């Protein structure tokens, strides 16, 4: 709100006094108020109902309302708007009652000069602005408090889930590896023309999938402590090349156009190499799933320096995400894929890995257009290395 937009509503039925007030407030070199007038209380209340009024100058004696009831009705209609009573009634008792009932000032007609009226009106405007600023500040404070509480709940939820995941992973990983070894042993000693051979292949494949799920749970629960020794200086271009080679068969089989672009001069960064490979594998695999049913099947990976960070972008032309799902993509076990085709831990694990590097990951998506993940990783990281 600025001075030039300040609106005063003058509720006064005497045309001569209306002109006098307009003249007194038109002080050269001072704020130019926008003055609206009403000669009846009902008209004034109607104008107040539209909002945008900053101060009310109110006569208590109107054709359709008399006395302090006039003030009360204005207060009910616009409780946040300052009211300056301007009346010919020189009665100290009424003045005190008016102030108690919410009037900011009580001015007697005939005793008010231009300077006094301007000062009182200016004070009313500043008071309204201050109250609005305080209200907005309180709303912001409460909003921030609510957000902090939600974050605390989320942290506690993730901590509890991590503890549960650690226990599940510990109990399942060893027997799963035993099952995988048994299946591989049987395959080794079974000929391909044996009717049991494809069944054993299915067992091996599904057991591997279970091992992958348990491994994701292990990473998610931070069972593997990340030490300084685990970090090494590496180029993201090398990581991307490895992952794309790993997925090359699927990329070619599904006729996906895949491009990788690393800007010249992009620095090598300190990273957990296996962790970053897992992040890229998750993102590009998700992108391949997303473009599977799309007419335009494109995946673009791009890397460049962004200030003190290196930015990695993975964009696809796939099905995209609904707005209500954007905030859930990092939640454990949340997935939009059909049952049996996703664990809902890939992005949760990826964000955990990025966080451990002191980085950040964001997602932008539009249904039917595609999804873009952006990762920022610090150039200077563990141990002050560059």
Structural domains of the chain in order of their starting residue, each with its CATH number = 3-112 (3.40.50.2300), 140-220 (1.10.287), 228-384 (3.30.565.10)
What is the pLDDT averaged over residues 39-61? 93
pLDDT at residue 82 tops 80? yes
* Higher pLDDT pick, 251 / 143: 251
Give the mean pLDDT of the chain: 83
pLDDT at residue 16 tops 50? yes
What is the pLDDT averaged over residues 308-336? 81
What is the pLDDT averaged over residues 73-88? 92
What is the pLDDT averaged over residues 344-361? 82
* Higher pLDDT pick, 143 / 203: 203
What confidence category does residue 277 fall into, taking pLDDT thresholds of 50, 70 and 90? confident
Could you say which DSSP state residue 295 is in?
A: S
Q: What crossing angle do the helices spanning 114-188 and 15-25 adopt, rounded to 10°?
A: 70
Q: What does the pLDDT read at residue 97?
A: 93
**Single pTM value for the model:** 0.43
Q: What does the pLDDT read at residue 106?
A: 93
Scored b (16 or more CB within 10 A) or e, 288-313 reads bbbbeebeebbbbbbbeeeeebbbbe
Token reading at 283 = 């993102």
Q: What does the pLDDT read at residue 2?
A: 45
Find the farthest-apart pair of alpha carbons in the chain and give their distance in angstroms, rounded: 114
103 Cβ neighbours under 8 A, 6+ residues apart: 58, 71, 83, 84, 85
pLDDT at residue 361 tops 80? yes
Token reading at 256 = 């996906």
Give burial (CB, 10 Å; 0-12/13-18/19+) of 348: buried
Percent of the chain exceeding pLDDT 70 equals 81
Q: What does the pLDDT read at residue 339?
A: 43
Q: What does the pLDDT read at residue 178?
A: 83
- Alpha carbons 151 and 135: distance in angstroms, whole number: 24
What confidence category does residue 164 fall into, taking pLDDT thresholds of 50, 70 and 90? low
pLDDT at residue 292 tops 50? yes
Could you say which DSSP state residue 54 is in?
A: -
pLDDT at residue 221 tops 70? no
How far apart, in Å, are the Cα atoms of 191 and each of 9, 148, 204? Answer: 95, 61, 15
What is the pLDDT averaged over residues 26-34? 74
Q: Across 18-27, 33-42, 240-249, 317-326, which has the greatest mean pLDDT?
A: 33-42
- Alpha carbons 386 and 378: distance in angstroms, whole number: 9
What confidence category does residue 380 fall into, taking pLDDT thresholds of 50, 70 and 90? confident
What is the pLDDT averaged over residues 2-21? 84
What is the pLDDT averaged over residues 270-293? 88
pLDDT at residue 347 tops 50? yes
What is the pLDDT averaged over residues 180-200? 91
**Phi and psi angles of residue 256, each rounded to the nearest 5 degrees, phi first:** -95, 135
Contact between 345 and 217 under an 8 Å Cβ cutoff? The reply is yes
Token reading at 301 = 């990976």
What confidence category does residue 371 fall into, taking pLDDT thresholds of 50, 70 and 90? very high
pLDDT at residue 386 tops 50? no
């Amino acid at each position: 709100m600025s001075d030039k937009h300040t609106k005063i509503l003058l509720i006064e039925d005497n045309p001569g006094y209306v002109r006098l007030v307009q003249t007194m407030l038109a002080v050269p070199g001072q704020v130019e108020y926008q003055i609206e007038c009403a000669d009846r209380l009902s008209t004034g209340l109607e104008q107040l109902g539209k909002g945008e009024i900053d101060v009310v100058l109110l006569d208590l004696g109107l054709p359709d309302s008399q006395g302090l009831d006039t003030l009360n009705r204005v207060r009910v209609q616009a409780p946040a708007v300052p009211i300056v009573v301007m009346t010919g009634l020189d009665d100290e008792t009424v003045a005190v009652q008016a102030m108690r009932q919410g009037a900011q000032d009580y001015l007697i007609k005939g005793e008010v000069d231009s300077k006094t009226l301007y000062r009182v009106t200016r004070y009313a405007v500043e008071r309204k602005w201050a109250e609005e600023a305080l209200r907005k500040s309180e709303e912001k404070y409460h909003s921030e408090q609510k957000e902090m509480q939600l974050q605390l709940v989320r942290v506690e939820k993730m901590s509890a889930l991590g503890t549960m995941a650690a226990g599940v992973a510990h109990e399942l990983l060893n027997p799963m590896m035993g099952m995988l070894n048994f299946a591989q042993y049987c395959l080794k000693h079974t000929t391909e023309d044996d009717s049991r051979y494809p069944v054993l292949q299915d067992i091996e494949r599904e057991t591997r999938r279970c091992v992958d799920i348990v491994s994701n749970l292990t990473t998610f629960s931070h069972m593997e402590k990340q030490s300084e020794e685990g970090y090494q200086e590496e180029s993201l271009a090398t990581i991307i090349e490895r992952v794309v080679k790993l997925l090359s068969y699927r990329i070619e089989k599904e006729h996906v156009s895949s491009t990788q672009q690393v800007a010249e001069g992009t620095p090598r960064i300190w990273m957990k190499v296996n962790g970053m490979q897992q992040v890229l594998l998750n993102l590009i695999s998700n992108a391949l799933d997303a473009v599977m049913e799309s007419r335009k099947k494109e995946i673009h990976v791009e890397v460049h320096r962004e200030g003190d960070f290196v930015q990695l972008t993975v964009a696809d032309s796939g099905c995209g995400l609904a707005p209500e799902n954007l905030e859930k993509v990092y939640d454990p076990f949340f997935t939009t894929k059909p049952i049996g085709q996703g664990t809902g831990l890939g992005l949760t694990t990826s964000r955990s890995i990025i966080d451990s590097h002191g980085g950040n990951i964001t997602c932008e998506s539009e249904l039917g257009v595609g999804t873009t993940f952006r990762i920022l990783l610090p150039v200077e990281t563990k141990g002050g290395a560059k």
